[in-house]
Amino acid sequence: MLFRKMTEADKPLVDSYLARTDYPGSDYSMLYLSGWDFFNFENSMQIAESGGALYIRFVPNLAKEDEETDSNGFVYMPPLTERGNFAAATDALREFCLDGEGEFYVTSCRPEEFALLDPEKYAIDEKRDSRDFAEYLYSPSDLIELPGKKYHAKRNFIRRFINTYSENYAFHTYEEKDRGGVYELFGNWSRTKSFDGYLGSAEKQERKLVDKALDYAAKYDDYFADVLEVGGKIVGFEFGERLASNNGIVHIEKGDVNYDGVYPMLCHAFAAKHFKDVRFINRQEDMGLEGLRKSKLSYHPCGFVEKRIVVLSKNNDFNKKRTEY
């Protein structure tokens, strides 16, 4: 297993492995990996191919003491491979670490993936289990059709938005001329969140992600950016991606709440335009923010991408071998 530096040019390689799976999570999105500072993409992210699997590892960029991990070196993503090869690929990574390549510490492993592994070899780090980082999955038909009584309020919000602004609104693909309006809306939105657990460092991080998302939408066919205008003013924008695993992801969604119904309108219009035939639409995690959790639950998710930290079981010889180095 030979690791090398990972770059944005590896996107087609990552996509080729992701296409062999039905994985609906955001973890292998190039925007996700390169856009969030935690992954330290430019300085530490590495990639390797071996045994029909793709391996990605990184040294976390830890900005705060409470973000520490129990790993003293590289953190590994779960091997990206077919379901039938997952256990063998994880065993190969285990052997790689046992041979002196550092600690075995795998992040973002789903429970259904962990169930494929030998419990004598592996364990879940219960200290790192957090509902806050489970990603919300939705049925495309639910977000597009908004059927039944449970979506009655959403339909009303959309109808109210359309009736209020009638021919004065437009939902269209982002163009470079819209960049200033997007930045203005994001700045206004950020100021309203300064009292809601959304402070300086997070704002800077998400602004960086907005910049990168705009560039990716212009560069790649599987990234999308749209804006919602009223009277020529941008009152909402949304960025998303269609994964090679045929799942949709909404990376960023921001709206001006002074325009009643702006968020249901954005959610519905974006899903209808880009995600009609995907398996799931992933609207990502709530980060433990009460308001965000309430909003995401109001769209009635059909499932979650739960993420676990996997370490070696205490039943193995790993800890003993570490003392021999």
- pLDDT tens-digit readout, 141-175: 999 999 999 999 999 999 999 999 988 999 999 99
Say whether both 111 and 173 belong to one domain. Answer: no
Q: Residue 229 sits in which domain range?
A: 135-305
Question: How many structural domains comprise the chain?
Answer: 2
Alpha helices in 236-285 (DSSP H): 262-274
- Average pLDDT of the chain is 90
Asked whether 105 and 98 are in contact (CB, 8 A), the reply is no
Strand ordering across the sheet containing 308-312: 4-5, 46-50, 53-58, 75-76, 106-109, 308-312, 122-124
Distance CA 161, CA 228 (A): 11
Say whether both 146 and 172 belong to one domain. Answer: yes
Say whether both 110 and 185 belong to one domain. Answer: no
Say whether both 128 and 139 belong to one domain. Answer: no
| pLDDT reading at 325 higher than 50 | no
Share of the chain above pLDDT 90, in %: 75
Say whether both 209 and 78 belong to one domain. Answer: no
pLDDT of residue 38: 77
pLDDT of residue 234: 98
CATH number at residue 72: 3.40.630.30
Say whether both 301 and 315 belong to one domain. Answer: no
Distance CA 320, CA 259 (A): 61
Residues contacting residue 12 through CB under 8 Å, at least 6 positions apart: none
Say whether both 163 and 114 belong to one domain. Answer: no
| pLDDT reading at 63 higher than 80 | no
| pLDDT reading at 198 higher than 70 | no
Strand ordering across the sheet containing 233-242: 169-173, 223-230, 233-242, 248-255, 281-282, 135-138, 303-305
The pair of three-digit structure tokens given for residue 156, joined into one six-digit string: 């009303």
Distance CA 7, CA 211 (A): 18
pLDDT of residue 64: 45
| pLDDT reading at 82 higher than 80 | yes
Say whether both 229 and 112 belong to one domain. Answer: no
| pLDDT reading at 251 higher than 80 | yes
